[in-house]
Amino acid sequence: MVLSDRETIYALGTPAPSRAAPGALSVIRLSGPRATDALIFLTERHAFERGHSARDPALPEPRRMTVRTLREPVSGEAIDRGLIVWFEAPNTETGETMAELHLHGGRAVVNGALAAIAQLGFCRLAEPGEFTRRAFENNKLGLTEAEAIADLVAAETDQQRRLALQQMDGGLHRLYEDWRTLGLSALAHLEAAIDFPDEDLPAGLGAHVIEQITRLRGEIASHLEDKRGERLREGLHIAIIGPPNAGKSSLLNLLARRDAAIVSDIAGTTRDVIEVHLDLGGWPVVLADTAGLRASSDTIEQEGVRRARVRADQADLRLLVLDATSDWKGDMAALVQQTARWDAARDIVVVNKTDLKPAEAIGIVPLSATSGAGLPDLLGRLERSAAALMEEGGAPPLTRARHREALLDAQAALARALIAPEVALAAEDLRLAMRALGRITGTVRIDELLDVIFRDFCIGK
């Protein structure tokens, strides 16, 4: 992307109105030094021909919404009557002068207004993510905050929204910058040792520096292990497991409120893993139905059982579904024992078909997937388990693969620094580690990386 701060850019900030879905309102935003000229030429008759405003002041006060008729600059034909507002640089979102046109949301209005701005000849359509990029260039926000805005727009559940808002506050930015500060102070010690070798400094890295690097590595390592951010972005993985015919697929359909999986009285109906996406009390969830766990001579069913076990191990949470009309206590003991990652505190045992035979025991959730009896209790348990998984630890969670990659680079460089044979080499590795951290927040600029990131931020792409 070629960047020119002097150009005034514009874009429709709301979804493009379609015939099927016109909006009540559409908002066009402009940013750049001539944003207010655009407002004058679009709202004051003949101003464009004259090349200046006849009235003084032709513009409303900044930050004050004002009703104006929007006109084609050349013909003077009215396009819409709407609200205009402008904001003075530098206290704006992009750091430049900004203007907004709040118009009626019809296609002809929006297309007419966009064409009118183009006619002015001194504004150009913004490239994807360009408003955010300008905000970043003008130090209005860091990269992690910009990513948080993209996350906020993409958020589908309450909890995703909460995390995005937290990140917009800069919690993640501060965490990474604190680490960078710590690393840079260790680096300053090393550089002193290099620059003044004759001074009475300890040989090698010195205990203080080793302690700092080790602490940094430890903090980054636990941050990398924290899966909350990934779970919030991609969904908490919940696996439904249990013996054949217990009603696993019936439960999936009940929770999904649709017939996603085939239900039948033939044991061994489900073979492949079937996934549905749900919102469970604000937590995004990927719920997986799996094949009934049993020894089988059918090779396809064997593969299904293998996949079910893999899913059970990979999932964040397991729902063990048992059949109340069978020896469910025996099945429970056997299956819990076979499930490598069973966690008694969080994983949930559901005893299904209680319409046929009641079931009671401490800790289990009795359910009838056919009547829905017991569903509220099960939902309550699921939400509590989800909340327990998500709320561990106070630090802001890792949310993006991009951050993970940079943190892994930083970790590797820190590990090399600790075993470097010379102080100069250790310093070089430490510098690389700090660069990797700076890449996350944007403190260290890498233009090709920024191009990719900002293109990704484009709303409605």
CA-atom Rg of the chain in angstroms: 30
Q: Which is nearer to Mg ion, 70 or 293 (CB)?
A: 293
Closest approach of Cβ 239 to ligand GTP, in Å?
13
Number of residues that bind Mg ion (CB under 5 A): 4
Closest approach of Cβ 311 to ligand GTP, in Å?
13
Choose one: 5-13, 116-124, 247-255, 433-441; the region binding ligand GTP (CB under 6 A): 247-255
Residue 245 engages Mg ion in binding (rule: CB under 5 A): no
Sheet containing 348-352: give its strands across. 274-280, 283-289, 236-241, 317-323, 348-352, 365-366
Q: Which residue has the tokens 């696993």?
A: 248
Q: Give the span between the Cα atoms of 247 and 435, in whole angstroms.
A: 53
Among 268, 307, 402, 455, binds ligand GTP (CB under 6 A): 268
Q: Which is nearer to Mg ion, 254 or 433 (CB)?
A: 254
Among 265, 360, 447, 448, binds ligand GTP (CB under 6 A): 265
Token pair for 115: 């064409």
Choose one: 40-48, 118-126, 239-247, 430-438; the region binding ligand GTP (CB under 6 A): 239-247
329 alpha carbon, distance to own chain's centre? 41
Site string for ligand GTP, 57-96 (x = CB under 6 A): ----------------------------------------
Residue 270 engages Mg ion in binding (rule: CB under 5 A): yes
CA angle 409-411-412, nearest 5°? 65
Give 48-59 as a DSSP string: HHHTS-SSTT-S
Among 249, 253, 339, 368, binds Mg ion (CB under 5 A): 249
Among 92, 270, 339, 399, binds ligand GTP (CB under 6 A): 270
Residue 144 engages ligand GTP in binding (rule: CB under 6 A): no
Q: Binding partner of residue 352 among ligand GTP, Mg ion, none, CB under 5 to 8 Å per kind?
A: ligand GTP
Binding residues for ligand GTP restricted to 323-382, rule: CB under 6 A: 352-353, 355-356, 368-370
Choose one: 114-122, 131-139, 243-251, 386-394; the region binding Mg ion (CB under 5 A): 243-251
What's the DSSP call for residue 86? E
Please choose, from the candidates 326, 408, 335, 324, the residue with its C-alpha nearest in 3D space to the C-alpha of residue 361.
324
Per DSSP, the three-state class of 98 is strand
Binding residues for ligand GTP restricted to 285-304, rule: CB under 6 A: 291-292
Sheet containing 66-71: give its strands across. 66-71, 78-87, 98-105, 23-31, 8-12, 123-125
Choose one: 93-101, 158-166, 266-274, 347-355; the region binding Mg ion (CB under 5 A): 266-274
**8 A C-beta contact, residue 73 and residue 1:** no
Choose one: 16-24, 194-202, 267-275, 422-430; the region binding ligand GTP (CB under 6 A): 267-275
52 alpha carbon, distance to own chain's centre? 45
Give 412-436 as a DSSP string: HHHHHHHH-SSHHHHHHHHHHHHHH
Q: Give the span between the Cα atoms of 71 and 46, in whole angstroms.
A: 10
Q: Cα dihedral sign for 39, 41, 44, 50?
A: positive
Q: Which is nearer to ligand GTP, 13 or 268 (CB)?
A: 268
Q: Which is nearer to ligand GTP, 97 or 290 (CB)?
A: 290
Q: Binding partner of residue 267 among Mg ion, ligand GTP, none, CB under 5 to 8 Å per kind?
A: ligand GTP
Residues at the contact surface with Mg ion, assessed by CB under 5 A: 248-249, 269-270
Residues at the contact surface with ligand GTP, assessed by CB under 6 A: 244-250, 263-265, 267-270, 291-292, 352-353, 355-356, 368-370
